[in-house]
Amino acid sequence: MYHSNKIIPGLVIFFLAMTFPFWFNIGSEAYSTPELVLPEDHEHCVEAVEFMRAEHMTMLNEWRDAYVRDGYGEYQSMLTGEMYAMSLTKTCMNCHNNKGDFCDRCHDSVSVDPYCWDCHIEPEGVE
């Protein structure tokens, strides 16, 4: 190979740089799911836990458009068939009434900072 004295060290450096995050983190703690405080007096959420875990942000975005732009106020649960008011503060925060013990723990641990709370008012007794 021509210039192998330059190409091979180059490849080695490139490889090390690319894999830096992997070997830098070897031995450090694995991500652990934060412990959340769940509402005590409610058996289930609007939808199944797995669905809420993965989709709550998409769902909230859809609720927002359905409520503000199309004038729909009620959501029928696919889980139970019950009706819920499509409201962040009146439905979600009514059960999860401690933002710090529920929302923030997850959001903080994955470093997301939703701006919902710039306008929507979190339940009293927090902060």
Partner 1 sequence: MKSSRRKFIAMAGFAALGWSVCPSLTRAATEAGPKLYFKEEGSLEASQWAMAIDTKKLDRQIMNKCIEACHTLHNVPDIDSDQNIKWIWIEPFRNLFYDQSHPNLKNKANQPFLTLCNHCDNPPCVRVCPTRATFRRPDGIVLMDFHRCIGCRFCMAGCPYGSRSFNFYDPRIYLENLSHEYPTRSKGVVEKCEFCAHRLDKGQMPACVEASEGALLFGDLNDSNSDVRKALRERYSLVRKPKLGTGPKVYYLI
Tokens standing for 126? 């927090």
Tokens linked to 43: 């058996």
DSSP state of 45: -
Please pick, from the candidates 33, 119, 125, 127, the single residue that binds partner 1 as defined by CB under 8 A: 119
Asked if 125 interacts with partner 1 (CB under 8 A), we say: no
Cα separation, 18 vs 20, in Å, equals 6
Of 15, 126, 110, nearest in space to 57 by CA: 110
In the set 83, 108, 114, 126, which binds partner 1 (CB under 8 A)?
83
Nearer to partner 1, 10 or 100 (CB): 100
Q: Footprint of partner 1 on this chain (CB under 8 A)?
A: 64, 66, 68-76, 78, 83, 85-86, 89, 115, 118-121, 124
